[in-house]
Structure 1
Amino acid sequence: MALTREEIAARYGTALFDYAQDMNALEEVHADLQELRQAVSANPKILSVFSDPIFNSTEKKKSLSIIEEGFTKEVQTFLNLLLDYNHFLQLVDIIDCFNELYNDNKKIMVGTAVTAVELDDAQLKALGQSYAKKYDLTSVNLKNEVDKSIIGGVILKVGDCVIDGSVKNKLKKIRAQLISKN
């Protein structure tokens, strides 16, 4: 029975995370994977080259050795494993799985701040630090979404938690109270 894309990502991402921990190279592997993910996002066709049956394994290994130059031994070994088992197309999903495990391990969360106006990096960072301190996290990395319909305030979505401090929500609560009193 063939594995799904998600199962492959979970198995390989977990294996790589455990391997990096065992080798005391978690930070270095994480840094290499972020660089690799950026490169693949900028040039997605790279992945299909390593999965294309037109190229023989010697050509693929030669090309991979050029790409993996400068990466840690652990990442090089892992990329060669993906090539050997023909799972290179799942590389981005595997990196995403690894990142989730890394973030959980380091108490780092990722979230979204929905605001009526765009926030600058300093404001996002301060908001993330405040949330991290309140919930005993190392850090919270926020991205900003602008939604003018919330009027003002902020809706913070981090993991499964949603904190709605928008003016729209406050007005809705006031309206509900007024209706319930009549």
Structure 2
Amino acid sequence: MTQTASNYGTVLFELGVKKEIVEKTKEIFSLTEELPKMLQSPIVSKDAKHRLIEDIFPEEIRNFLKVVSDHQEMDLMDDIFVAYKKTYDENHGILCAEMSYVMEPDAKQVEQMKAYLANKYGKQTVELSMVEDKSLIGGFVLRVGDKEEDYSMKGRLDRLEKRLTWR
């Protein structure tokens, strides 16, 4: 993600645009490949782009989209949405984490994992996405941002192999 996209995402959050509006806008962009291309194109006039934005998007986000379009940076919209979500989550005490597993944990185990992560990172809410990964052999791997906690059999075997072959 570029610094420009990150800045736009932060500005979008600071403008007070609601999460639902941003998600709706993201959905509109995902419905067709042509829309972002038209809004990015130097061939399409600025007035035509503004009319298109007025016709399609929610009122709360129109001016923001016009500015992004005027600066020919519509190709950054996916990254802008990611940056907005990151800023939103940080400001609302939400931690996004991923858990890779072999056997799916039950609801109680998932809640315990969320409580562990919330306590460790000092967050109020944890959004835990679950990913099945049979290559782990057993156990699980937790990822939060660029940090990883590996409690898998594969990870243990890899660490053991490194210790044994280090000599």
TM value normalised by structure 1: 0.72
Q: How far apart, in 2, do the equivalents of 1:124 and 1:50 lie? A: 46
SS in 2 for 1:86: coil
Other-structure match for 1:38: 27
Q: Which of 103, 114, 117 is the aligned partner of 2:89?
A: 103
CA RMSD of aligned residues (A): 2.9
Q: Which amino acid aligns with 1:38?
A: E
- Report the AA paired with residue 126 of structure 2: V
Amino acid at match of 2:39: F
- Does the aligned pair in 2 maintain the 1:124–1:142 contact within 8 Å? no
Return the match for 2:47 from 39, 53, 58: 58
Counterparts of 1:67 and 1:124, CA distance in 2 = 43
Provide the TM-score with structure 2 as the length reference: 0.78
Say yes or no: does 1:146 pair with 2:132: yes
Residue-pair matches, total:
163
- Percent identical among aligned pairs is 25
Q: Which runs of 5+ in 1 are unaligned?
A: none
SS where residue 47 of structure 1 aligns? helix
Answering whether residue 1 of structure 2 is matched by residue 8 of structure 1, we say: no
Q: Write out per-residue CA displacement over residues 118-163 of structure 1, whole angstroms, 9 at most, x where no aligned residue.
A: 568x579523344224432122222222221222221111123322
Q: Is the 8 A contact 1:124 1:144 kept in 2?
A: no
**Does the residue aligned with 1:110 lie in a helix, a strand or coil?**
strand
Instruction: Give the residue type in structure 2 aligned to 1:59.
Output: A
For the 8 Å contact 1:150–1:169, the answer to whether it is kept is yes
Offset at 1:87?
1.8
